[in-house]
Amino acid sequence: MQPSFFKPHPWLIIEEGWNPRRNRLSESIFSLGNGHMGLRGNFEEGYSGDCLQGSYLAGVYFPDPTRVGWWKNGYPEYFAKVLNGTNWIGISVEVEGEILDLNQVEVLSFSRTLNLKEGWLERKFRVRMSGGRQVEVEALRFCSITREEVGALRYRVTPLNFSGRVGLGPFLDGNVKNEDSNFDEPFWDPVHQEAEPFQALLQMRTKKTLFEICSAMHCSLESGGAIIRPLTRQELREKFAGSFFSLHLEQGQSCTLYKVVANLSSRNHPPELLAARCRQRVREAAETGFEGLLAEQREDWARKWEEMDIRIEGDLPAQQGIRFNLFQLYQTYTGKDERLNISPKGFTGEKYGGCTYWDTEAYCLPFFLGTAPPAVARNLLLYRYRQLGKAIENAGRLGFSGGAALFPMVTINGEECHNEWEITFEEIHRNGAIVYAIYNYCRYTGDLEYLEDFGLETVIAVARFWAQRVSWSDAKKAFVLLGVTGPNEYENNVQNNWYTNYIAAWCLDYACRSLNQVKAKAPAKFGALERRLKLDTGRETGQWKHIASGLYFPREEKLEIFLQQDGYLDKEQTLARDIPAEERPIHDHWSWDRILRSCFIKQADVLQGMYFFEDRFDLDTISRHFDFYEPRTVHESSLSGCVHSILASRIGNRDKAYELYLRAARLDLDDYNADTRYGLHITSMAGTWMSIVQGFAGMRVREEGISFSPFIPGNWDAYSFNLIYRDWPLNIRVDQQAVHILNRGRAAIKLHIFEEGLILGPGQMASRPFNSPVYAPEEKR
d(CA 329, CA 319) in angstroms, rounded, equals 16
Amino acid letter, residue 273:
L
Exposure b/e, 102-134, CB count within 10 A at least 16 = b:
beebeeeebebbbbbebbbbbbebebebeeebb
What residues have CB less than 8 Å from 339, skipping those under 6 apart? 59, 267, 383, 386
Tell which residue, 187, 309, 262, 182, has the closest CA to residue 731.
Answer: 309
Please state, in angstroms and rounded to a whole number, the distance separating the CA atoms of residues 484 and 610.
Answer: 19
CA of 391: how far to CAs of 24, 501, 510, in Å?
Answer: 36, 20, 19
489 is catalytic: yes
d(CA 255, CA 470): 70
- Which letter does DSSP use for residue 363 in this model? I
Cβ count near 585 (within 10 Å): 17
3-state DSSP call for residue 260? strand
DSSP secondary-structure letter at 66? P
Residues 6+ positions from 226 with CB-CB distance below 8 Å: none
Among residues 489, 540, 630, 636, the one annotated as catalytic is 489
Task: Read off φ and ψ for residue 14, nearest 5 degrees.
Answer: -120, 125
Rounded Cα gap, residues 687 and 680, in angstroms? 14
- HEC assignment per residue over 658-680: HHHHHHHHCCCCCCCCCCHHHCC
3-state secondary structure of 603: coil
Closest CA to 428 of 409, 412, 414: 409
The C-alpha atoms of residue 270 and residue 281 are separated, in whole angstroms, by 15
Query: What is the total residue count of the chain?
Result: 781
Parallel/antiparallel/unpaired status of strands 749-753 and 705-708? parallel
List, by residue number, the catalytic residues: 489
